């Protein structure tokens, strides 16, 4: 039986078209009966695998992520396995002269990319009619992101034709086709396809204006003007490019004049447009202009950490491998913080409503993971595949991204109630301050339970060499790591945390009362707080996390009265002047590290005392170089974290 690398629902992105001189035929599959007058031929007669059983004909339609757009889809994943031979044939099309075909295509899974043929018949919409002519296009494996293809039909000028997409893949996955159009292109038409510019620049830096142009006209494009303005049109910078771009080909460009970034804390619109292709009038000026909104900051960064939200469930057979990948990331990347979101492939006994909301917004299957909730280039979902070290690569990329803020967590606990203080300090301007929120997770590590809601389905039970080889299927008593138990701020964060735009180098703080369920293990509870954007009216790229912090419940003031601890400690004198003493009463020897952080979360002192013996010990901290004020003293004793506040007063 065919096993895919991860479970995937269908998520599509519809691509818009530039204008055409004359449209002969078009289909975007969004009508009530999109296959009316089309001919669908299932020549293989095979049975789709249960995972793609919705493809119950040669071709069907499926909704995209917004459920407002449809595309045609075919499968080559059969049970038993075998080659597809499925045709989607257009109604009759009467060509004129100089006509072209354009369409978008996508193979859902890059590990199992479907290929296809584009065929043409000048007689009947049948297999025999289609095979009477050579294939117009043969694609062995389509891209895993939407790919627009253009085919010259001039060899069939003035003919009556039928076009067909033939999925002839063998044991792959899903092939999608959308936005089919037969048209007569204009003679001269230049398109500004994209701009290759960052979202954020540092004040006073030189910004290169660059992008990609496309020749959408019949004639070769030998010259074009590229223009830009950053001040609403008062100053227009024009460059004349001497190029040679064939019909429907693209070429990158770099403007000879740069923009000097200015006005930190403010968005600037860079308007770029192309004009006068081949020194004449552009036939379709509607596709000539793009505007890039860039943000300028001071280039200051906080201490960046990265949040990994792993989508996993007990019934997901590949999720044990996802758990292994996450633990490997935590071992390799100290800046990583990981949590488990129990949704994405069904639910289990640990699923809470917030998990389902996150999966609906970000994940198309499990195991997948969102890394700082960033929508990475080339991805249609925020939650990405672990294939080809996808998660680790994304974490390593994000850990070096500058962050405008630091996050710290403090607080106290009494009985089963924790008062958690989340503190945020902005050291630079955030891009969209109006959309900022703070989210707090309560996380329990090493969760176990009984029954199907906890027993982990395990594909790797028979895969020799895998860490879960021979562990059973399902794994009874599976240890579920880093489970998000509750979200005290609400699913998408505290919308009232920032009453106004953040003030630079000023502490913003809020306290949250958190009830600890008596069934949760207090020693395994931690709190994860992060600053995130939230704009439900925007795209998937408007949920990104700026920074994150995690602390153990055991580090909160009063935790030792609630948790059996290996250590008691105190700091004196408090206030301190030049020296502060940490008194430890260790119940077992342990390695001890002490970090002193200022109220912005910046580490100002660190000492590794190495292995400290059992009993009462006094460790000396030098505070002579510290300015007057309040500080956090964070102790790491073995695997326990402790925290308290001290004042320095000279």
Would you list the DSSP string of 92-154? -EE--SS-EEEEEEEES-TTS---EEEEEESS-SSHHHHHTS--SEEESS--SS-EEEEEE-G
Backbone angle region of 610, left / alpha / beta, with phi > 0 → left and psi within -120 to 50 → alpha = left
If asked whether residues 497 and 578 sit together in one domain, one would say no
Q: Is the pLDDT of residue 211 over 90?
A: yes
pLDDT tens readout for residues 511-550: 999 999 988 988 899 999 999 999 988 777 789 999 999 9
Residue 11 belongs to a domain: no
Structure confidence at residue 557 (pLDDT): 72
Q: Residue 129: which CATH number?
A: 2.60.120.200
**Domain that includes residue 626, residue range:** 565-648
- Please indicate, yes or no, if residue 1 is contained in any of the structural domains: no
Both 87 and 164 in one domain: the answer is yes
pLDDT at 59 over 70: yes
DSSP track, 519-531: TS-GGGEEEEEEE
Average pLDDT over residues 483-488: 98
- Same domain? For 136 and 180 the reply is yes
- Together in a domain, 329 and 205: no
The tally of domains found in the chain comes to 4
User: Length of the chain in residues, anyone?
Assistant: 650
What tokens were used for 356?
Answer: 């389902």
Query: Do residue 280 and residue 344 come from a single domain?
Result: no
The distance in angstroms from the start CA to the end CA of the chain is 73
What is the average pLDDT value for the chain, to the nearest integer? 91
Element (DSSP H or E) covering residue 244: strand 237-245
Q: Which of these three, 131, 151, 184, is where a domain ends?
A: 184
Token pair, residue 306, equals: 């990265």
In a domain, 471, yes or no: yes
In this prediction, residue 66 carries a pLDDT of 41
In this prediction, residue 470 carries a pLDDT of: 96
Expressed in percent and rounded to 5, the helix, strand and coil fractions of the chain are 10, 40, 45
Q: What is the pLDDT of residue 42?
A: 97
SS3 for 274-313, per residue? EECHHHCCCCCHHHCEEEEEEEEECCCCCCCCEEEEEECC
Distance, C-alpha 131 to centroid of its chain: 43
Please tell me the distance from the alpha carbon of residue 316 to that of residue 453, in angstroms, as a whole number.
11
Confidence of residue 562 (pLDDT cuts 50, 70, 90): low
Are 197 and 84 within one domain? no
Q: Which of 520, 555, 590 is the last residue of a domain?
A: 555
Q: What is the pLDDT of residues 350-405, one digit of tens each?
A: 999 999 999 999 998 899 999 999 999 878 899 999 999 999 999 999 999 999 99
Residue reference for tokens 């700091």: 571
Query: In 3-state terms, what secondary structure has residue 497?
Result: coil
Would you say residue 6 lies in a domain?
Answer: no
pLDDT score for 342: 98
C-alpha to C-alpha distances, 48 to 54, 58, 59, 79, 115, nearest whole angstrom: 8, 10, 12, 6, 17
| 338 and 408 inside one domain | yes
Whether residue 174 is found in the same domain as residue 199:
no
Strand partners, 569: 584
pLDDT on residue 565: 54
Q: Give the percent of the chain with pLDDT over 70.
A: 94
pLDDT for 14 equals 33
What is the crossing angle of helices 319-332 and 390-398, to 10°? 30
User: Which residue in 127, 15, 6 sits closest to 71, CA to CA?
Assistant: 15
- Region 592-618: what's the mean pLDDT? 87
- In contact, 425 and 505? CB cutoff 8 Å: yes
- Residue percentage of the chain with pLDDT more than 90: 76
């Amino acid at each position: 039986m065919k096993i895919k690398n991860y479970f995937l629902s269908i998520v599509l992105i519809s691509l818009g078209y530039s204008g055409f001189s004359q449209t002969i035929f078009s289909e975007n599959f969004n009508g009530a009966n999109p296959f009316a007058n089309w001919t669908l031929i299932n020549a293989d007669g095979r049975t789709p695998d249960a995972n793609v059983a919705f493809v119950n004909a040669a071709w069907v339609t499926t909704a995209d992520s917004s459920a407002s757009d449809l595309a045609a889809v075919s499968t080559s994943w059969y049970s038993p396995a075998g080659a597809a031979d499925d045709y989607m044939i257009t109604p009759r099309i009467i060509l004129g002269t100089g006509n072209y075909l354009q369409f978008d295509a996508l193979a859902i899974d890059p590990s199992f990319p479907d290929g296809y043929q584009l065929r043409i018949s000048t007689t009947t919409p049948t297999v025999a009619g289609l095979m009477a002519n050579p294939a117009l296009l043969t694609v062995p494996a389509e891209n895993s992101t939407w790919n627009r293809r253009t085919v010259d039909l001039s060899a069939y000028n003035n003919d009556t034709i039928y076009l067909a997409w033939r999925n002839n893949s063998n044991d792959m996955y899903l092939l999608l086709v959308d936005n089919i159009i037969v048209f007569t292109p204009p003679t001269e038409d230049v398109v500004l396809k994209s701009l290759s510019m960052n979202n954020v620049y540092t004040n006073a830096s030189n910004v290169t204006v660059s992008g990609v142009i496309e020749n959408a006209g019949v004639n070769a494009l030998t010259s074009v003007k590229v223009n830009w303005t950053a001040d609403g049109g008062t100053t227009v910078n024009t460059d004349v490019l001497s190029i040679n771009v064939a019909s429907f080909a693209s070429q990158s460009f770099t403007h000879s004049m740069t923009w000097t970034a200015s006005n930190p804390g403010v968005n600037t619109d860079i308007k770029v447009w192309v004009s006068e292709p081949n020194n004449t009038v552009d036939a379709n000026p509607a596709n000539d202009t793009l505007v890039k909104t860039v943000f300028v900051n001071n280039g200051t960064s906080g201490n960046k950490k990265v949040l990994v939200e792993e989508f996993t469930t007990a019934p997901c057979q590949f999720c044990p491998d996802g758990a292994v990948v996450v633990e490997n990331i935590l071992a390799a990347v100290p800046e990583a913080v990981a949590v488990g979101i129990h949704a994405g492939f069904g639910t289990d006994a640990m699923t809470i409503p917030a998990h389902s909301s996150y999966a609906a917004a970000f994940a198309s299957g499990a195991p997948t993971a969102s890394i700082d909730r960033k929508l990475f280039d080339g991805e249609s979902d925020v939650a990405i595949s672990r294939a080809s070290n996808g998660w680790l690569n994304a974490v390593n990329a994000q850990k070096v991204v500058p962050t405008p803020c630091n996050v710290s967590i403090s607080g106290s606990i009494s009985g089963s109630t924790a008062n958690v203080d989340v503190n945020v300090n902005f050291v630079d301007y955030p891009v969209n301050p109006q959309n900022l929120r703070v989210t707090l997770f309560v996380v329990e590590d090493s969760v176990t339970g009984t029954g199907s809601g906890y027993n982990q389905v395990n594909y790797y039970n028979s895969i020799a060499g895998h860490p879960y080889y021979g562990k059973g299927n399902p794994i009874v008593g599976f240890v579920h790591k880093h489970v998000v138990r509750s979200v005290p701020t609400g699913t998408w964060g505290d919308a009232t945390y920032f009453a106004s735009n953040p003030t630079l180098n000023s502490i913003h703080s809020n306290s949250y009362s958190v009830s600890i369920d008596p069934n949760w293990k207090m020693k395994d509870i931690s709190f994860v707080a992060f600053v995130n954007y939230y704009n439900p009216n925007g795209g998937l790229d408007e949920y990104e996390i700026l920074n994150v912090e995690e602390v153990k419940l055991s580090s909160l003031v009063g935790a030792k009265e609630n948790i059996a601890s290996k250590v008691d400690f105190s700091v004196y004198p408090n206030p301190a002047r030049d020296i502060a003493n940490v008194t430890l009463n260790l119940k077992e020897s342990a390695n001890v590290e002490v970090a002193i952080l200022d109220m912005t979360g910046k580490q100002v002192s660190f000492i590794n005392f190495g292995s400290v013996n059992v009993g009462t010990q006094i460790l000396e901290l030098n505070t002579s170089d510290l300015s007057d004020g309040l500080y956090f003293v964070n102790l790491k004793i073995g695997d326990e974290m402790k925290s308290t506040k001290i004042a320095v007063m000279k």
